Chain A
């Protein structure tokens, strides 16, 4: 149980375009989903907390207008990287929780490359 599906797994886009990443909880309802970014050989950095039906809470230093998060249902959250630039190239991972305690269940991540 507790499977989180993330798509796409890899995407290559040109600078200036937008990319949408989907995160779905397949067998449970996730009132809260989290979006992380991870650069090579580094830790997971929380970008934002996504609550169903309300605005996302962004971490300090994360641009809200650049990383648009939508959590329209209890099983789906999307992250849109707008006007992507090469420095946005990274591994983006979503996660979801079915209750208040650990564990978090992670998607398989999206490798974004902006050329």
Chain B
């Protein structure tokens, strides 16, 4: 069964700590994306990668970092520099530009 998997589903982080969200896809998609959703807000693009070993900043990249060492994996690190990290994080992948498949999301809460 092809799909995109995000883990964990829920994550708690203490202030000042870095935390990494996992995103894995077995769809053989070239491009992968990270979005953030806040209550009453749309999805805002954090980072994206169109090919292995390359990635670009989205609209709200400050306080986040990513890597793309493998085609299947695009982990997102929320660093202590992110001022307001509590949010719902969504990973997506696509083969062609507009065929997005989303994961089920990770809800990050800072405690």
Are A and B interaction partners?
no
Binding site for B on A (CB under 8 A): none
Binding site for A on B (CB under 8 A): none
